[in-house]
Structure 1
């Protein structure tokens, strides 16, 4: 591996860690970079997934202030992400990629619509929670858990842009600010990515390039710090626009390479 490749992979890891912390889809940077340098697709996918986990840790830590008071929500949803990720990882081992990639653009498009409509949806959710005659908390809780389970399966199987799905889901059903929801999203995405990484460590050791893992891990760790530092300063409207742009890029990427 040349010095140029080392620096390029590290830089891709920094960019991916930053974007993952703010919204997700960092793999759209690191994975093509590895393919461009001639790494086999499976090796690139497995090594990239493992390398991005440290960025999830630093990004989550950077959003610790926004996570204050959200322990109950995390205890409700983190197990759903864990189970969903296991299901997705098992599907990855048994199903062809085309079986799931066909619906990815549809899922992302729906999520982007939810992100755009988030202010109106959150206002309705808040009003219903405030009115005891229209208490739909149980229905919202069940839908939120089911959606998180599905997003976990998506993340465990496909991975790219799972943050867009989570932000669309959380923004529609949880009456919290965009930044606080982003903190929750980072925790749930970290759970999913960690499960997938552990799965690869058990069943796909032969496809791990530890040089790539180390470079992306170091880069994403730094990127998570940068993403949490600057992403937390984005106003809600700007963060919403950023999510939509990244989501559209992910849709185009999936459609053109699928």
Structure 2
């Protein structure tokens, strides 16, 4: 690996760590970079997943203030993310290449649409809670299985995992986007960590790539936590939509 390639991968890690903390889809920066330097797709995917784990953890820690009072919620959803990550990682190892990625563009577009309509749907959910006498911050019944499916997707590939998580949480949980972003960072860290552990044991990994992306992702995670916290709910929603549309377009390009 040349010095130029190493520097480019490191910078890609910084960009991915930043955007993952704010919303997600950092894989769309690092994965194409690795492919451009001739890294085999599966090796690139696996090495990228492991490399982004430290950045995910850093982003979650950076949002610890927004996580205050959400311990029960996080623990409940963490089990879904953990199980989903295991299933997704196994699918990557046993399914033919491209079998799961065929539905990725549809999932990303669905996530963007859900984020756009989230205010109206959240208001509807709040009214339903009030009619039933349920606490305003209870999870909708479908949030746990939806987080599970998002974990499967994240364990397999992970691009725009954050967009999907924010769509699910924003609609199914009565909470501010900033606090939900903190929950999203924890769940994404769990998915990346569990899948990364499985890949480290049974898959082919380029540990130089892991180190470079890992260092960059930690730096990016710190940057993202600072930038993301300053965004208003409208600005954060706009960022999510833009990133999601870019991700959707990237998957459609040959």
Quick check: 1:221 aligned with 2:218? yes
Per-residue Cα deviation, 1:88-121 (whole angstroms, up to 9, x for no partner): 1111122123221222122111111110111111
Instruction: Measure the CA separation in 2 of the matches of 1:91 and 1:235.
Output: 37
**Could you say which residue in structure 2 is the equivalent of 1:253?**
250
Quick one: structure 1 residues 126 and 111, their matched pair in 2 at CA, closer, same or farther if it must change by over 3 Å?
same
Partner residue, 2:234: 237
The TM-score normalised by the length of structure 1 is 0.93
Instruction: Give the aligned CA root-mean-square deviation in angstroms.
Output: 1.7
User: Counterpart in 2 of 1:43?
Assistant: 43
Counterpart for residue 131 of structure 1: 131
Find the residue that maps to 1:102 and give its secondary structure: helix
Question: Residue by residue, what CA displacement relative to the aligned partner does 1:112-147 show, whole Å, maximum 9, x if unpaired?
Answer: 1110111111222222223345x599x954301110
Residues 144-193 of structure 1 deviation map (CA, whole Å, 9 limit, x = unaligned): 11101111111111211111110110011101111111110111111111
- Between Structure 1 and Structure 2, how many residues are aligned? 253
Distance in 2 separating the partners of 1:40 and 1:132: 53
Q: Give yes or no for contact 2:78–2:187 (8 Å, CA) kept in 1.
A: yes
Deviation at 1:86, TM superposition (A): 0.7
Partner-residue secondary structure (3-state), 2:100: helix
Q: Which runs of 5+ in 1 are unaligned?
A: none
Give the distance between the partners of 2:176 and 2:135, measured in 1 at CA. 20
- State the distance in 1 between where 2:92 and 2:53 align: 19
1:9 matched residue in structure 2: 9
Deviation at 1:8? 1.1
Looking at structure 2, the residues matched to 38 and 88 of structure 1 have their Cα atoms a distance apart, in angstroms, of: 25
> 1:65 matched to which residue of 2?
65
The unaligned stretches of length 5 or more in structure 2 are: none
Structure 2 CA distance, aligned partners of 1:179 and 1:141?
Answer: 19
Q: Match for residue 110 of structure 1?
A: 110
**Alpha-carbon distance between aligned partners in 2 of 1:221 and 1:140, rounded to the nearest angstrom:** 31
1-structure distance, mates of 2:96, 2:44: 17
